[in-house]
Structure 1
Protein backbone atom coordinates (compact mmCIF):
# COMPACT_ATOMS: atom_id res chain seq x y z
CA UNK A 1 0.00 0.00 0.00
CA UNK A 2 0.96 3.63 -0.42
CA UNK A 3 0.75 5.16 3.05
CA UNK A 4 0.92 8.84 3.95
CA UNK A 5 2.08 9.46 7.51
CA UNK A 6 1.42 12.99 8.70
CA UNK A 7 4.06 13.63 11.31
CA UNK A 8 7.48 12.03 11.77
CA UNK A 9 7.75 11.95 15.56
CA UNK A 10 7.98 8.80 17.63
CA UNK A 11 4.61 7.37 16.54
CA UNK A 12 4.97 8.26 12.86
CA UNK A 13 8.58 7.16 12.54
CA UNK A 14 8.06 3.87 14.41
CA UNK A 15 5.06 2.91 12.28
CA UNK A 16 6.84 4.06 9.14
CA UNK A 17 9.78 1.78 9.87
CA UNK A 18 7.48 -1.20 10.43
CA UNK A 19 5.50 -0.59 7.26
CA UNK A 20 8.59 -0.13 5.12
CA UNK A 21 9.92 -3.44 6.47
CA UNK A 22 6.62 -5.02 5.44
CA UNK A 23 7.02 -3.71 1.89
CA UNK A 24 4.70 -0.70 1.92
CA UNK A 25 5.60 2.64 0.36
CA UNK A 26 5.63 5.43 2.93
CA UNK A 27 5.56 9.20 2.45
CA UNK A 28 6.02 11.36 5.53
CA UNK A 29 4.04 14.59 5.35
CA UNK A 30 5.68 17.34 7.39
CA UNK A 31 5.69 21.13 7.61
CA UNK A 32 9.46 21.42 7.10
CA UNK A 33 10.73 18.98 4.49
CA UNK A 34 14.34 20.07 5.11
CA UNK A 35 14.24 19.03 8.77
CA UNK A 36 17.52 17.09 9.34
CA UNK A 37 15.86 14.45 11.52
CA UNK A 38 13.22 13.74 8.89
CA UNK A 39 15.82 13.61 6.13
CA UNK A 40 17.90 11.17 8.21
CA UNK A 41 14.82 8.99 8.75
CA UNK A 42 14.08 8.84 5.03
CA UNK A 43 17.70 7.98 4.23
CA UNK A 44 17.60 5.24 6.86
CA UNK A 45 14.51 3.70 5.26
CA UNK A 46 15.85 3.74 1.72
CA UNK A 47 14.08 4.06 -1.60
CA UNK A 48 10.51 3.21 -0.61
CA UNK A 49 10.21 6.07 1.87
CA UNK A 50 10.08 9.77 1.06
CA UNK A 51 9.17 13.10 2.59
CA UNK A 52 6.83 15.74 1.20
CA UNK A 53 4.74 18.69 2.32
CA UNK A 54 1.50 17.60 3.97
CA UNK A 55 -0.60 18.21 0.85
CA UNK A 56 1.73 16.16 -1.33
CA UNK A 57 1.83 13.28 1.13
CA UNK A 58 -1.96 13.13 1.36
CA UNK A 59 -2.26 13.08 -2.42
CA UNK A 60 0.08 10.08 -2.62
CA UNK A 61 -1.54 7.95 0.07
CA UNK A 62 -4.15 5.23 -0.23
CA UNK A 63 -4.22 5.37 3.56
CA UNK A 64 -3.49 8.54 5.54
CA UNK A 65 -2.29 8.24 9.15
CA UNK A 66 -2.55 11.31 11.36
CA UNK A 67 0.31 11.24 13.89
CA UNK A 68 0.49 14.97 14.59
CA UNK A 69 -0.09 16.86 17.86
CA UNK A 70 -3.72 16.63 18.87
CA UNK A 71 -4.18 20.39 19.05
CA UNK A 72 -3.32 20.67 15.34
CA UNK A 73 -5.88 18.11 14.17
CA UNK A 74 -8.92 20.24 13.33
CA UNK A 75 -6.97 22.92 11.48
CA UNK A 76 -5.07 20.30 9.47
CA UNK A 77 -8.25 18.39 8.60
CA UNK A 78 -10.01 21.58 7.51
CA UNK A 79 -7.05 22.80 5.45
CA UNK A 80 -6.77 19.52 3.52
CA UNK A 81 -10.42 18.48 3.39
CA UNK A 82 -10.61 18.28 -0.40
CA UNK A 83 -7.56 16.02 -0.64
CA UNK A 84 -8.81 13.77 2.16
CA UNK A 85 -12.21 13.19 0.55
CA UNK A 86 -12.87 9.48 0.08
CA UNK A 87 -9.57 8.42 1.67
CA UNK A 88 -9.01 5.76 4.29
CA UNK A 89 -7.84 7.74 7.32
CA UNK A 90 -6.38 6.58 10.63
CA UNK A 91 -6.67 8.97 13.56
CA UNK A 92 -3.74 8.14 15.85
CA UNK A 93 -3.56 11.57 17.50
CA UNK A 94 -4.71 12.26 21.05
CA UNK A 95 -6.22 15.64 21.90
CA UNK A 96 -5.18 15.64 25.54
CA UNK A 97 -7.44 17.84 27.66
CA UNK A 98 -10.16 18.21 25.01
CA UNK A 99 -13.73 16.95 25.37
CA UNK A 100 -12.77 13.93 23.25
CA UNK A 101 -9.28 12.67 22.47
CA UNK A 102 -10.32 11.56 18.99
CA UNK A 103 -11.12 13.92 16.09
CA UNK A 104 -14.05 12.09 14.50
CA UNK A 105 -16.32 15.14 14.81
CA UNK A 106 -13.87 17.24 12.80
CA UNK A 107 -13.66 14.59 10.09
CA UNK A 108 -17.47 14.37 9.95
CA UNK A 109 -17.73 18.14 9.63
CA UNK A 110 -14.99 18.73 7.07
CA UNK A 111 -14.56 15.38 5.27
CA UNK A 112 -17.78 13.37 5.57
CA UNK A 113 -16.72 10.99 2.77
CA UNK A 114 -13.50 9.88 4.49
CA UNK A 115 -13.45 6.39 6.01
CA UNK A 116 -12.03 7.17 9.43
CA UNK A 117 -10.54 4.69 11.90
CA UNK A 118 -9.32 5.13 15.44
CA UNK A 119 -6.14 3.07 15.82
CA UNK A 120 -2.57 3.32 17.12
CA UNK A 121 -3.78 5.83 19.72
CA UNK A 122 -4.20 3.64 22.80
CA UNK A 123 -0.61 2.44 23.29
CA UNK A 124 2.77 4.11 23.54
CA UNK A 125 5.10 3.91 20.56
CA UNK A 126 7.33 1.45 22.40
CA UNK A 127 4.68 -1.21 21.87
CA UNK A 128 4.78 -0.65 18.11
CA UNK A 129 8.56 -1.07 18.16
CA UNK A 130 8.32 -4.19 20.37
CA UNK A 131 4.86 -5.71 19.98
CA UNK A 132 5.67 -8.98 21.72
CA UNK A 133 5.99 -9.75 25.42
CA UNK A 134 7.97 -12.96 25.45
CA UNK A 135 5.89 -15.29 23.30
CA UNK A 136 2.72 -13.19 23.69
CA UNK A 137 1.60 -10.91 20.86
CA UNK A 138 0.00 -7.67 22.03
CA UNK A 139 -3.44 -6.70 20.69
CA UNK A 140 -4.43 -3.37 19.18
CA UNK A 141 -8.07 -2.44 19.63
CA UNK A 142 -9.48 -0.21 16.90
CA UNK A 143 -12.75 1.03 15.46
CA UNK A 144 -14.07 2.28 12.15
CA UNK A 145 -16.38 1.29 9.32
CA UNK A 146 -16.67 -2.37 8.34
CA UNK A 147 -15.70 -3.47 4.84
CA UNK A 148 -12.69 -3.25 2.53
CA UNK A 149 -11.14 -0.31 4.37
CA UNK A 150 -11.29 -2.21 7.65
CA UNK A 151 -9.39 -5.08 6.02
CA UNK A 152 -6.69 -2.62 4.90
CA UNK A 153 -6.31 -1.24 8.41
CA UNK A 154 -6.12 -4.76 9.85
CA UNK A 155 -3.27 -5.54 7.45
CA UNK A 156 -1.40 -2.45 8.61
CA UNK A 157 -1.91 -3.35 12.27
CA UNK A 158 -0.72 -6.91 11.63
CA UNK A 159 2.30 -5.64 9.72
CA UNK A 160 3.41 -3.78 12.84
CA UNK A 161 3.31 -7.12 14.69
CA UNK A 162 0.11 -6.53 16.66
CA UNK A 163 -3.10 -8.54 16.56
CA UNK A 164 -6.00 -6.34 15.38
CA UNK A 165 -9.19 -6.42 17.46
CA UNK A 166 -12.09 -4.53 15.87
CA UNK A 167 -14.59 -3.23 18.42
CA UNK A 168 -17.13 -1.77 16.00
CA UNK A 169 -17.87 1.29 13.93
CA UNK A 170 -16.92 4.94 14.40
CA UNK A 171 -19.39 5.26 17.27
CA UNK A 172 -16.92 3.25 19.38
CA UNK A 173 -14.16 5.88 19.20
CA UNK A 174 -14.76 6.90 22.82
CA UNK A 175 -14.32 3.27 23.87
CA UNK A 176 -10.86 3.26 22.27
CA UNK A 177 -10.11 6.52 24.06
CA UNK A 178 -11.08 4.89 27.37
CA UNK A 179 -8.34 2.33 26.70
CA UNK A 180 -5.95 5.21 26.06
CA UNK A 181 -6.82 6.67 29.46
CA UNK A 182 -6.30 3.25 31.05
CA UNK A 183 -2.89 2.97 29.36
CA UNK A 184 -1.84 6.40 30.67
CA UNK A 185 -3.00 5.46 34.18
CA UNK A 186 -1.12 2.16 34.26
CA UNK A 187 1.99 3.08 32.29
CA UNK A 188 2.59 6.58 33.61
CA UNK A 189 0.36 7.17 36.64
CA UNK A 190 1.28 3.87 38.30
CA UNK A 191 4.77 3.91 36.77
CA UNK A 192 4.50 0.40 35.35
CA UNK A 193 6.51 1.48 32.31
CA UNK A 194 5.65 2.44 28.75
CA UNK A 195 6.19 -1.05 27.31
CA UNK A 196 2.71 -2.05 28.43
CA UNK A 197 -0.11 -3.34 26.25
CA UNK A 198 -3.46 -5.13 26.34
CA UNK A 199 -4.56 -8.66 25.41
CA UNK A 200 -8.04 -10.03 24.73
CA UNK A 201 -8.40 -13.59 26.05
CA UNK A 202 -11.27 -15.89 25.10
CA UNK A 203 -11.85 -19.64 25.05
CA UNK A 204 -10.91 -19.55 21.36
CA UNK A 205 -7.39 -18.23 22.04
Structure 2
Protein backbone atom coordinates (compact mmCIF):
# COMPACT_ATOMS: atom_id res chain seq x y z
CA UNK A 1 0.00 0.00 0.00
CA UNK A 2 2.83 2.36 0.70
CA UNK A 3 4.14 1.85 -2.76
CA UNK A 4 0.73 2.60 -4.25
CA UNK A 5 0.50 5.83 -2.28
CA UNK A 6 3.97 6.89 -3.39
CA UNK A 7 3.12 6.12 -6.97
CA UNK A 8 -0.17 8.02 -6.67
CA UNK A 9 1.57 11.01 -5.09
CA UNK A 10 4.27 10.95 -7.77
CA UNK A 11 1.61 10.82 -10.44
CA UNK A 12 -0.57 13.43 -8.75
CA UNK A 13 2.20 16.09 -8.60
CA UNK A 14 2.68 16.42 -12.39
CA UNK A 15 -1.07 16.27 -12.98
CA UNK A 16 -1.58 19.04 -10.41
CA UNK A 17 1.18 21.13 -12.00
CA UNK A 18 -0.40 20.75 -15.43
CA UNK A 19 -3.84 21.56 -14.02
CA UNK A 20 -2.56 24.67 -12.23
CA UNK A 21 -0.68 25.88 -15.30
CA UNK A 22 -3.85 25.32 -17.32
CA UNK A 23 -5.68 27.60 -14.90
CA UNK A 24 -3.63 30.58 -16.04
CA UNK A 25 -1.85 31.06 -12.77
CA UNK A 26 0.95 32.99 -14.49
CA UNK A 27 -1.04 34.62 -17.26
CA UNK A 28 -3.28 36.59 -14.90
CA UNK A 29 -0.53 38.67 -13.23
CA UNK A 30 1.17 39.10 -16.59
CA UNK A 31 -2.02 40.48 -18.12
CA UNK A 32 -2.66 42.62 -15.04
CA UNK A 33 0.81 44.17 -15.21
CA UNK A 34 0.42 44.74 -18.95
CA UNK A 35 -2.81 46.62 -18.29
CA UNK A 36 -1.18 48.70 -15.57
CA UNK A 37 1.65 49.56 -17.98
CA UNK A 38 -0.87 50.65 -20.60
CA UNK A 39 -2.56 52.91 -18.05
CA UNK A 40 0.85 54.41 -17.22
CA UNK A 41 1.21 55.16 -20.95
CA UNK A 42 -2.12 57.02 -20.87
CA UNK A 43 -0.95 59.03 -17.87
CA UNK A 44 2.37 59.76 -19.57
CA UNK A 45 0.57 61.15 -22.62
CA UNK A 46 -1.61 63.35 -20.41
CA UNK A 47 1.51 64.62 -18.66
CA UNK A 48 3.16 65.26 -22.03
CA UNK A 49 0.15 67.32 -23.05
CA UNK A 50 0.13 69.18 -19.73
CA UNK A 51 3.81 70.03 -20.14
CA UNK A 52 3.90 70.68 -23.88
CA UNK A 53 0.80 72.63 -24.84
CA UNK A 54 1.13 75.58 -22.42
CA UNK A 55 4.79 75.98 -23.41
CA UNK A 56 3.93 75.89 -27.10
CA UNK A 57 1.11 78.39 -26.62
CA UNK A 58 3.45 80.74 -24.75
CA UNK A 59 6.10 80.33 -27.45
CA UNK A 60 3.58 81.19 -30.16
CA UNK A 61 2.40 84.14 -28.09
CA UNK A 62 5.99 85.33 -27.80
CA UNK A 63 6.64 84.99 -31.51
CA UNK A 64 3.35 86.63 -32.38
CA UNK A 65 3.97 89.49 -29.91
CA UNK A 66 7.46 90.06 -31.30
CA UNK A 67 6.20 90.07 -34.86
CA UNK A 68 3.23 92.18 -33.88
CA UNK A 69 5.37 94.86 -32.28
CA UNK A 70 7.83 94.94 -35.19
CA UNK A 71 5.08 94.89 -37.81
CA UNK A 72 3.07 97.52 -35.93
CA UNK A 73 6.17 99.70 -35.78
CA UNK A 74 6.75 99.24 -39.52
CA UNK A 75 3.09 99.98 -40.32
CA UNK A 76 3.07 103.11 -38.15
CA UNK A 77 6.35 104.31 -39.61
CA UNK A 78 5.06 103.66 -43.12
CA UNK A 79 1.87 105.56 -42.36
CA UNK A 80 3.91 108.53 -41.04
CA UNK A 81 6.27 108.39 -43.99
CA UNK A 82 3.47 108.34 -46.55
CA UNK A 83 1.46 111.00 -44.73
CA UNK A 84 4.23 113.53 -45.25
CA UNK A 85 4.13 114.58 -48.87
CA UNK A 86 6.79 116.76 -50.35
CA UNK A 87 6.06 118.75 -53.47
CA UNK A 88 8.59 120.53 -55.58
CA UNK A 89 7.78 123.79 -53.79
CA UNK A 90 8.28 122.15 -50.37
CA UNK A 91 11.87 121.30 -51.18
CA UNK A 92 12.65 124.88 -50.34
CA UNK A 93 11.33 124.56 -46.76
CA UNK A 94 14.02 123.02 -44.54
CA UNK A 95 11.48 122.05 -41.82
CA UNK A 96 9.31 120.09 -44.30
CA UNK A 97 12.36 118.41 -45.83
CA UNK A 98 13.60 117.47 -42.35
CA UNK A 99 10.15 116.13 -41.34
CA UNK A 100 10.03 114.05 -44.52
CA UNK A 101 13.60 112.77 -43.98
CA UNK A 102 12.84 111.94 -40.33
CA UNK A 103 9.71 110.00 -41.30
CA UNK A 104 11.62 108.08 -43.97
CA UNK A 105 14.45 107.39 -41.50
CA UNK A 106 11.95 106.01 -38.99
CA UNK A 107 10.52 103.76 -41.67
CA UNK A 108 14.02 102.65 -42.69
CA UNK A 109 14.89 101.95 -39.07
CA UNK A 110 11.72 99.90 -38.56
CA UNK A 111 12.34 97.96 -41.75
CA UNK A 112 15.91 97.38 -40.64
CA UNK A 113 14.68 95.93 -37.34
CA UNK A 114 12.20 93.76 -39.21
CA UNK A 115 14.95 92.49 -41.52
CA UNK A 116 17.29 91.93 -38.57
CA UNK A 117 14.63 89.91 -36.79
CA UNK A 118 13.93 87.82 -39.88
CA UNK A 119 17.66 87.34 -40.59
CA UNK A 120 18.52 86.41 -37.02
CA UNK A 121 15.41 84.29 -36.60
CA UNK A 122 14.41 83.01 -40.03
CA UNK A 123 11.88 80.67 -38.42
CA UNK A 124 10.22 83.64 -36.73
CA UNK A 125 7.03 83.55 -38.68
CA UNK A 126 3.96 83.37 -36.50
CA UNK A 127 1.88 81.66 -39.16
CA UNK A 128 4.39 78.82 -39.19
CA UNK A 129 4.37 78.81 -35.38
CA UNK A 130 0.61 78.57 -35.31
CA UNK A 131 0.74 75.70 -37.78
CA UNK A 132 3.36 73.99 -35.62
CA UNK A 133 1.21 74.50 -32.53
CA UNK A 134 -1.80 73.09 -34.34
CA UNK A 135 0.26 70.10 -35.48
CA UNK A 136 1.58 69.49 -31.95
CA UNK A 137 -1.90 69.69 -30.46
CA UNK A 138 -3.22 67.27 -33.05
CA UNK A 139 -0.28 64.92 -32.53
CA UNK A 140 -0.65 65.05 -28.77
CA UNK A 141 -4.36 64.33 -28.90
CA UNK A 142 -3.68 61.44 -31.28
CA UNK A 143 -1.07 60.02 -28.88
CA UNK A 144 -3.56 60.23 -26.04
CA UNK A 145 -6.25 58.55 -28.15
CA UNK A 146 -3.85 55.73 -29.08
CA UNK A 147 -2.75 55.26 -25.46
CA UNK A 148 -6.41 55.14 -24.36
CA UNK A 149 -7.22 52.63 -27.09
CA UNK A 150 -4.24 50.43 -26.14
CA UNK A 151 -5.25 50.58 -22.48
CA UNK A 152 -8.87 49.67 -23.25
CA UNK A 153 -7.71 46.76 -25.40
CA UNK A 154 -5.47 45.57 -22.59
CA UNK A 155 -8.35 45.85 -20.11
CA UNK A 156 -10.58 43.90 -22.48
CA UNK A 157 -7.98 41.13 -22.84
CA UNK A 158 -7.44 40.99 -19.07
CA UNK A 159 -11.15 40.93 -18.30
CA UNK A 160 -11.73 38.17 -20.84
CA UNK A 161 -8.78 36.22 -19.45
CA UNK A 162 -10.03 36.27 -15.84
CA UNK A 163 -13.58 35.36 -16.85
CA UNK A 164 -12.96 32.44 -19.20
CA UNK A 165 -12.39 28.81 -18.28
CA UNK A 166 -9.90 27.48 -17.17
CA UNK A 167 -8.06 30.73 -16.39
CA UNK A 168 -10.98 31.98 -14.32
CA UNK A 169 -10.22 29.26 -11.73
CA UNK A 170 -6.64 30.42 -11.17
CA UNK A 171 -7.65 34.08 -11.40
CA UNK A 172 -10.20 33.74 -8.59
CA UNK A 173 -8.48 31.16 -6.39
CA UNK A 174 -4.89 32.35 -6.49
CA UNK A 175 -5.13 36.04 -7.39
CA UNK A 176 -8.59 37.18 -6.36
CA UNK A 177 -8.70 38.94 -9.71
CA UNK A 178 -11.36 41.54 -10.28
CA UNK A 179 -12.32 43.07 -13.64
CA UNK A 180 -10.55 46.34 -14.50
CA UNK A 181 -12.38 49.40 -15.72
CA UNK A 182 -11.76 50.65 -19.25
CA UNK A 183 -11.15 54.31 -19.87
CA UNK A 184 -14.39 56.20 -20.22
CA UNK A 185 -14.66 59.79 -21.32
CA UNK A 186 -15.66 62.18 -18.56
CA UNK A 187 -18.81 64.26 -18.75
CA UNK A 188 -18.33 67.23 -21.04
CA UNK A 189 -15.31 65.74 -22.81
CA UNK A 190 -17.17 65.76 -26.09
CA UNK A 191 -16.33 69.47 -26.24
CA UNK A 192 -12.97 70.31 -27.78
CA UNK A 193 -10.38 71.85 -25.47
CA UNK A 194 -10.06 75.61 -25.80
CA UNK A 195 -6.74 77.18 -26.70
CA UNK A 196 -6.54 80.89 -25.87
CA UNK A 197 -4.00 83.40 -27.14
Q: TM-score range by the shorter chain?
A: under 0.3
Normalization by structure 1: what TM-score?
A: 0.18
Please, what TM-score do these two structures have when normalized by structure 2? 0.19
Larger strand share, 1 or 2: 1
Going by fraction, where is helix more abundant, 1 or 2?
2
